[in-house]
Amino acid sequence: MNKPTDQVLSGLQALIEAAASDDVLARKLRMATTAGAIAEAAADAGIKLDPAAVVKHYARQLLEADDATTVHNFDLCSWDAGELLWAMQNWKA
């Protein structure tokens, strides 16, 4: 792994640990629907996460895994087809 990826992973792990003992933070994370909202919740816990770095970290995990793991991890996101198709139609090239 490279340093930025390690930093993002460490920050995400710290955020998960913080949320485990903070109901307000856990609720804020459950309501976070954007990368910016994740970074904002992290900042509330004193953890610095760059929204773009978080998204790229997850994308890299999908791209670098074997096919079965990629599908499994994608499926964990629980997007319905309409939501996913709407998002893809609105992505910037």
Tokens of 23: 């109901």
Can you count the helices (H) and strands (E) in the chain?
A: 6, 0
Query: For the segment 31-69, what is each residue's pLDDT rounded down to a tens digit?
Result: 999 999 999 999 999 999 999 999 999 999 999 999 999
pLDDT of residue 2: 63
- For the chain, the structural domain boundaries read 3-66
Measure the CA–CA gap between 8 and 51, rounded to whole angstroms.
Answer: 10
Q: Could you tell me the two tokens for 28?
A: 């804020």
